[in-house]
Amino acid sequence: MDLLRNHRFNGSTPQLADVLSVTSGKGGVGKTSISVNLALLFQQLRKRVLLIDADIHLGNVDLVLGLRPRKTLADVLLGEAEMESILIPGPGGIDILPASSGVAELLDCESQIIRRLNREFQTLQSRYHLILLDTGAGLSKVVLSFIRSSVKTVLVVTPDPASIADAYGMMKVISRHIPRHPILILANMVSTYDEGTSIFQKLNLMASRFLNQSLEYAGSIPRSADWAQAVLKQTPLLLQQEHSMAARALKMVGRNVLRSPGNPDDRLRGFFDGFLEKNLLSEEMIGD
Ligand X SMILES: Nc1ncnc2c1ncn2[C@@H]1O[C@H](COP(=O)(O)OP(=O)(O)O)[C@@H](O)[C@H]1O
| 57, 172, 223, 248: residue in contact with ligand X (rule CB under 6 A) | 223
Considering beta carbons, is residue 56 or 114 the nearer one to ligand X? 56
- Binder of residue 71, out of Mg ion, ligand X, none (CB less than 5 to 8 A by kind): none
Shortest-Cβ-distance residue relative to Mg ion: 32
Smallest separation, CB 231 to Mg ion (Å): 11
Q: How far apart, in whole angstroms, are the C-alpha atoms of residue 160 and residue 164?
A: 6
Residues 28-67, mask of contacts with Mg ion (x by CB under 5 A): ---xx-----------------------------------
127 to 14, 98, 130, 152: CA distances (angstroms): 6, 17, 9, 19
| Per CB under 5 A, 158 contacts Mg ion | no
Q: Does 89 bind ligand X (CB under 6 A)?
A: no
Question: What kind and span of H or E run contains 203?
Answer: helix 193-206
Please list every residue from 20 through 49 that binds ligand X, using CB under 6 A: 24, 27-33
For residue 32, the one-letter residue type is: T
Q: 11: burial class by Cβ within 10 Å (0-12, 13-18, 19+)?
A: exposed
Are 168 and 26 in contact by the 8 Å Cβ rule? The answer is no
Q: How many CB atoms lie within 10 A of CB 201?
A: 13
Euclidean distance between CA atoms 274 and 284, whole angstroms: 16
| Interface with ligand X (CB under 6 A), residue from 139, 228, 276, 285 | 228
Nearer to Mg ion, 4 or 156 (CB): 156
Question: Which residues contact ligand X by CB under 6 A?
Answer: 24, 27-33, 188-189, 221, 223-224, 227-228, 231, 246
